Amino acid sequence: MAIKRRFPAPAFCFGPLLWLVIALFWPAPGRALSPADAAAVVKAEDYLNSIQTLKAHFIQIAPDGGNVNGTVYLSRPGRLRLDYDPPSPILLIANGGWLIYHDKQLEQTSYLDLDSSPAGVLVRAAVKLNEGDLEVTSIGHVPGMVDIEVIKRGEPGQGRITLSFSEAPFQLRQWQVMDSSGQVTTVSLSDAHKGVAIDDALFQFHDPREGGDADSGR
């Protein structure tokens, strides 16, 4: 039987993000932002909400400085796949309400409710960075870039994620996660393509021990 548990933070991009639990609450107003900052948040939300599909290369830098490469596939709403290049044995899939972490080498599989994971923010049907369960805590502007830091509302000690966007063209270029212990993981995207055809089969997970898949709710 597959292991259903909160898995410890592995050396991959969403590991530390699992310390930042994103739960669903009734909508609440966000913090007051300056007009320029509010415009940046709206632009970021519009960009994220414009994504139907996306494919990109990624480089992840772990807290210890180690790095790993791979390919990310995103199909909104609700579906995500991260393929890590060899020799990494990790596969991460979101579909059917689950965020599924599979270690091919250890033959271990863990399941997390997608709505309880910050990975779910990127594949929500409607992304709102400063409403409901999310709150923008700071915005940084440097030439050509804007950084938006987001926390779970009312629980800043749980961790934070910073989304970095280029301004011309406006695209998500990087996210950086600080977990509850202060460990930082950075993920940078390159060669990103929106609106590409992505095979639905990429978002199915067949557990080698059970024969289930993510679309069947396991």
Mean pLDDT by 10 residues, the chain (218 residues): 39 36 35 89 96 96 93 94 93 89 91 73 89 91 94 76 93 88 90 96 84 49
| Domain residue spans of the chain | 16-202
pTM for the model stands at: 0.77
- Topology of the domain comprising 16-202: outer membrane lipoprotein receptor (LolB), chain A (2.50.20)
Dist. CA 213–CA 98, nearest whole Å: 11
What is the residue-wise DSSP string for 118-178? THHHHT-SS--TTSTTEEEEEEEEETTEEEEEEEETT-GGGEEEEEEEEETTEEEEEEEEE
Q: Which two tokens stand for residue 198?
A: 């992505």
